[in-house]
Chains A and B, each alone.
Chain A
Amino acid sequence: MTDAPILALQDVRISYFSRTGEANVIPRLSFELARGEAMGLVGESGCGKSTVALAIVRYLGRAGRVVGGRILFEGRDVAALTEGELRAMRGRRIAMVYQDPMASLNPVMTVGRQLMEVPMIHEGIGERAARARALAMLAEVKLPDGEKLLERYPHQLSGGQQQRIVIAMALIAEPALLIMDEPTTGLDVTVEAAVLDLVRELRQRHEMSVLFISHNLGTVVRVCDRIGVMYAGELLEEGSIRQVFANPRHPYTRALLDCLPSLDRDKRHAPLVPIPGQVAAAVARPSGCGFAARCVHVEPGRCTTQAIPSVPVTGERGHRVQCIRAAELPRWERRRTAAVVATEVSTARMALTVTGLRKRYGQRGGLFGAGRASVQALNGVNLTAAKGQTLAIVGESGCGKTTLAKILIGLETASEGRVELEGHEVGSVRVEARPAAVKRAVQMVFQNPDSTLNPSHTVGYAVGRALRRLRGLAGSGAANEVAHLLEVVRLPPELAGRKPHQLSGGQKQRVAIARALAGNPDVIVADEPVSALDVSVQASILNLLNEIQAERDATLIFISHDLSVVRYLADHVAVMYLGTVVELGHVADVFAPPFHPYTEALLSAVPVPDPEGQGIRIVLEGALPSATEVPRGCPFSTRCPRRIGAICDETPPPDQPLAGGHYISCHIPAEELARLQSAGAGARE
């Protein structure tokens, strides 16, 4: 590409100002984005990715300021634009797509109005022409029924549809640069895959440049040509996707790859390596390399005294790295798991047996409840978890996995069916009515680190209270046990005096684990415990859960939407779809053909952080059916790419038992599935 870059950052320095002074979040950042190129910016939260995006459109707010360097867009300094020019640039030349589509859409305007507004305001075209443009754009983002959709309000659409509308709004002005800030983070894995494919396709067709910001290396690989790895406001490594993934030179890039669970990593064979420590506050920026404090290759003195220059990697054009030891480090090797052999299902005692579990919501008559359609959240779930093993329950949002967890812990009761936990029937017993021994035996780790701890209570109180209620410990005995539990979850004992707002997300989740361990539970239910955490922190929490589970011989019920995490942590996996378990078995069996067609689709949608491992994607058509009208036959029949005919719609599929307790709930014979899917997997390799 010979023409001038569309976007160039030259020694940009950005600070936020507050009463306490200046916080320099971006010390010095330079990079260029060529016309038609897609560049991904990755890094942990707090590394300054979003700040860069906002600075490009001069939208930092009152507290933030570009205090040095220049940002050139199409050769013009963004800082020198007048208000009018800035408005024109934001609307017509640069478009942005943010994480939460609902926050980008106006809830009181129809989708059509919002789409048409863009060309009507920026290009001054008439309503009729704008409507035609809007319809064409909807077709481009692959939303069928455009005419009808234009009259809808945002809340009437699914999350995936909303994000497509936002992308349509961004593209309708035909911008030269599209900035996407974590555009798929809140979406289900199959929806995410479809949106990423869409972005890739559209940018090629419109010859548009994309700046793609994400914490997920896998999504960046799917969309971008080049990648920049950011840490503490600095670009530590940059290069083409292939260069950086095949030969990562910066220890931070390597650390990110090493702590990322993927479909070929397993806790026994390729343990995740978490990055120690956390991103330092911007006010306490060390001299020298910003990553030195967490780096395994650090050399005190050389790394910590001088500013580190960004140097080209020899022999690789466009690959640059900002590490003083880059040339000395050995070549990086991707960790892979050798094929896991399914261990025999032990005859060990079952910790948990669920039979025929159903849960309906909204069926209570009552004064105003009459006529409300009931929602079938669980529709005959059968599963077992062996003592001392990890059972993962995986599925997209709305599949009933959280309802199942709530019944296990007694926050909800089953409408039908049995849940046997350590020999007690608990399915229809709310937690208040459960005997003390059962309460002690099952504890939960929740999803949201910000809501799992009471902000008014100290860590010591939260854990101490659990000890008192579940084990009757009080006084100095309790204090010692609190310190011990904090040690178990690798937290310093001083943290007992802290309140949650003084802790990081990972620390909060560790405290939550300590609290769950207070009663020495036999069964730990963990509902998406790492989905809100950064990858580096996620790895350490997963390893911690794994250790605790093994040491205490506890049963871990691990609920997740992330198949890579499940692959890593689980012994057994249950795949759920629309309130039923469609496949259950040992992790090695579930992650190898034959798959249930839904498992197959989920696996193909997982973003793989490896440019060589990109396979053929199975795109699921349509949306998840509403839980008020569950299909009569197979629940997956409405979206199944391998549907064989009317039998799928009419007859509930049989559970086909396979070797090792593995079963698949499908009309297609397992041998046939295996044959079809091995062919597909061959194409994926």
Chain B
Amino acid sequence: MALPATVEGVPAVSGQVPLGIARTWARRLGRLAESTPALVGAGIIAFWATVAVLAPAIAPYAPNANNLAALANPAPSSAHWLGTDQLGRDILSRILWGARTVLTVAPLAVLGAAILGSLLGLTAGYFRGWIDLVIARVCDIVLSFPVIILYMIILAHFGSSAFNIIGVLTLTKAPIIARIVRGLTLELREREYVAAAKMRGESALYVMLVEILPNARGPLIVDMCLRTGYNVVIIGALGFLGIGLPPPDPDWGGMVKDTYGMMSVWPHMALFPCAAISSLVIGFNLLAVGLREIGLRD
């Protein structure tokens, strides 16, 4: 989100920032400890983030390396802790590498949706009238489509890549965020400090970005957390439908798709990637629950 202090070159009055930005953030992170769900959720996410960063160093095998010898018995063993898949690739290594893509695509898509959705929601809620009507109807149209069909159409047309998946998720999730921000804006625009800003002649853009948006951040951040979790599920589903990230790069959903046919014989091939998806989603959900809990306490 745009930091308020950077818009329109606001004067930096001395003594304005008593705590450094770093210390402010340290204090905010410290508050996570107030809620057990937030702490557990943040822990799970931190685990996967660490794994994603360190994947090249800690993965025992290259993600696409075939071990033909393991094809005979792909079950978990001391050489392959989580076993190998139908092509003899190490499942642990593929999950570790897969974390990188999912943890890049899901948050970026949410960030895109938050930026686009906030701008739409602020504009609709602040100006109201016909602008609100147009934005609300466009959002309704997007939201009324069955999303999976929409993904299939768009990705089939433009081709499947990380960039296109981010784009598609941004476009389909922005209307939901726009609705939330619009609701908050309708309430916040009536605050007296907004009237005070208008009375000193501030532009509409300033009022929206500096006076209103920062005060909408609480519910927005909670929602972004929740939505990142949902995005992890959707990316999995896209992979499962075969329109996720192009093979052979590891993709958790794709790993399930390739191996679920062998579920009755070798369940581990599909179950471990499924567990990875679930744990990450639960992590984001717990963090969202915890943040809401902390927010309600203020």
Interface residues of chain A, those whose CB is within 8 Å of chain B, are 19, 409-411, 431-432, 436, 439, 442-444, 446-448, 451-458, 460-462, 464-466, 468-470, 474-476, 478-479, 482, 494, 496-498, 512, 515, 518-519
Contact = CB atoms under 8 A, between A and B. Distances in A.
B193 A496 contact: no
B13 interface: yes
B200 A456 contact: no
B16 A460 contact: yes
Given A451-B192, A496-B16, A497-B16, A439 B200 contact: yes
Contacts of B215: 454-456
B84 to A, nearest CB: 50
B13 A482 contact: yes
A464 B211 CA distance: 14
B14 A476 contact: yes
B199 A458 contact: no
Tell me which of A461, A494, A512 has the highest count of chain B C-beta atoms within 10 A of its own C-beta. Answer: A461
Interface residues of B, number: 23
A411 B198 CA distance: 8
A462 B194 CA distance: 11
A478 B11 contact: yes
Contacts of A411: 195, 198-199
A482 B12 CA distance: 12
A464 B13 contact: yes
A452 B193 contact: yes
Given A436-B201, A439-B201, A451-B191, A474 B11 contact: yes
A447 B195 CA distance: 12
Interface of B: 4, 10-11, 13-18, 34, 191-193, 195-196, 198-202, 211, 214-215
Given A469-B200, A469-B202, A519-B200, A458 B195 contact: no
Contact of B200 (A455, A458, A466, A497): A466
Contacts of B192: 446-448, 451-452
B214 A456 contact: yes
Nearest to A466: B200
11 contacts: A446-B192, A446-B196, A447-B192, A455-B215, A465-B11, A466-B196, A466-B200, A468-B10, A468-B11, A470-B201, A478-B11
Interface of A is mostly: helix
B199 A431 contact: yes
A275 to B, nearest CB: 26
Contact of B199 (A410, A447, A464): A410
A432 B14 contact: no
B10 A461 contact: yes
Contact of A497 (B4, B17, B202): B17
A470 B200 contact: yes
A465 B15 contact: no
Contacts of B214: 454, 456-457
Contacts of B18: 497-498
Nearest to A473: B11
**A-B complex: 6 closest residue pairs judged by Cβ atoms:** A456-B214, A446-B192, A469-B200, A454-B193, A497-B18, A474-B11
Contacts of B201: 431-432, 436, 439, 469-470
Contacts of A432: 198, 201
A444 B10 contact: no
A497 B196 contact: no
B40 to A, nearest CB: 19
Contacts of B191: 451, 454
Contacts of A464: 11, 13, 16
A109 B4 CA distance: 46
Nearest to B16: A460
A479 B13 contact: yes
B16 A444 contact: no
Contacts of A453: 193
A474 B214 CA distance: 23
A518 B199 CA distance: 12
Contacts of B199: 409-411, 431, 439, 442-444
A457 B200 contact: no
A333 to B, nearest CB: 40
A498 to B, nearest CB: 8
Tell me which of B14, B15, B200, B211 has the highest count of chain A C-beta atoms within 10 A of its own C-beta. Answer: B200
Contact of B16 (A409, A436, A458, A470): A458
B295 to A, nearest CB: 13
Contact of B195 (A444, A460, A497): A444
Contacts of A443: 199
B200 A465 contact: yes
Given A456-B215, A461-B10, A497-B15, A451 B193 contact: yes
Contacts of A457: 4, 214
B214 to A, nearest CB: 4
B10 A431 contact: no
Contact of A465 (B10, B17, B34): B10
